[in-house]
Amino acid sequence: MRVALFIPCYVDQFYPKVAIATLKLLQHLGLPVEYPMQQTCCGQPMANGGFEHLTGSCNSNFIKAFTGYDYIVSPSGSCVLHVKDHLHDHKQEDAATAVRSRVYELCEFLTDVVKVDSIKASFPRKVALHQGCHGQRGLRLASSSEVVASPFSKPVQLLKMVAGLELVDLDRPDECCGFGGTFCVTEEAVSSAMGLSRIDDYTKHAATVVTGTDVSCLMHQEGLIKRKKLPLEVMHISEVLVSGL
């Protein structure tokens, strides 16, 4: 089994600690992980901005970087959803299809492929979980509150394995935080208002740590938290899952 680590461009540049935590977690579980150096960006920033027609060279580069691996694993629900929904290349559509079918968000890879049933991590803190919308409603990492179905959540399933971790209940467990790619600057006022609502929900329930499946959502919320100097620590779920290992 060959597992490739797909690290979103902004995580590579600004949150290497999240990439390192993801790598360590997968290695801790005994998986042979490689980081293909050819990778850059999945093309989502352009595509969601209405410029999918400019993502051709990103797509072919992505396919080149990840072809040949059995699994492509990423600590980002949003980027994985983009690849699954929009990675195409008319010159090599078979290769594109293979990549699309092999890409996994970290949590779903752990629960569905590796079928992890215990993690030795320990994290004795009160944690609020922000389920990124693209992971939740796009990849169905968790049931959404709009749909009538038995509730489930792959990130919660993993967090419950961490010793000492107390997950707080939120008033609105799956409200969007307002990041939304270019939305965070083009609709700055709404974006910030949405983020602040989320943060109010965390503090109201006495969480001291916010975690999530997408660094983009967390980067936006961390920006708001730091500006307000709130006593809330922001960590990606991979960082929580390697705590104390």
Partner 1 sequence: MNTHNITHPEAATEFLKNKERVQWHDETLWFVRHKRDKIVNEIPEWEQLRELASQIKDHTLSRLDEYLQEFEAAAISNGVTVHWASDAAEHNRIVHNILAKHGAQKIVKSKSMLTEECHLNEYLETQGIEVVDTDLGERIVQLNKEMPSHIVLPAIHIKKEEVGEIFHQHLGTEKGASDPLYLALAAREHLRQKFLAADIAITGVNFAVAETGAIVVCTNEGNADLGAHLAKVHIACMGIEKLIPRTEHLSVFLRLLARNATGQNITAYSSHFRKPAEGSEMHIVIVDNGRTTQLGREAFRNSLKCIRCGACLNTCPVYRRSGGHSYHNATAGPIGAILAPNLDMRKNADLPFASTLCGSCTDVCPVKIDIHNQLYQWRQVLTQEGYVPAAKTASMKVMAGVLSSPARYSFAGKWARKFLRWFPGLAMNKKLNPWARQRELPEPPKESFREWYKKNSREL
- Which residues between 7 and 66 bind partner 1 (CB under 8 A)? 7, 9, 11-17, 19-20, 23, 27, 35, 37-41, 43, 45-55, 57-58, 60-61
Q: Please report, as a single letter, which amino acid is at residue 51.
A: F
Q: Residue 102 or 220: which CB sits closer to partner 1?
A: 220
Q: Which of 84, 102, 134, 236 binds partner 1 (CB under 8 A)?
A: 134
Residue 42 or 119 with smaller CB distance to partner 1: 42
Q: Residues 179-198: x/- map of binding to partner 1 (CB under 8 A)? A: xxxxxxxxxxxxxxxxxxx-
Q: Per CB under 8 A, which region of 89-97, 119-127, 176-184, 201-209 contacts partner 1?
A: 176-184
Nearest to partner 1 of 12, 166 (CB atom): 12
Residues near 103 by beta carbon (within 8 Å), at least 6 away in sequence: 6, 66, 72, 73, 74, 80, 83, 84
Q: φ and ψ at 72, to 5 degrees?
A: -120, 115
- From the CB of 163, what's the least distance to partner 1, in Å? 25
Residue 127 bridge partners (DSSP): 167, 209
User: Distance (Å, rounded) from C-alpha 146 to C-alpha 80?
Assistant: 23
Rounded CA separation 25/200 (Å): 31
Q: Does 92 contact partner 1 by CB under 8 A?
A: no
- For residue 75, how many other CB atoms are within 10 A of its CB? 28
Question: Shortest gap between Cβ of 226 and partner 1 (angstroms)?
Answer: 4
Residue from 84, 130, 137, 154 touching partner 1 (CB under 8 A): that is: 137
- Selected binder of partner 1 within 118, 148, 150, 231 (CB under 8 A): 148
Q: What is the DSSP string of 15-32?
A: -HHHHHHHHHHHHHTT--
- Of the candidates 160, 156, 129, the residue with the CA atom closest to the CA atom of residue 236: 129
Beta carbon of residue 77, minimum distance to partner 1 (angstroms, whole number): 12
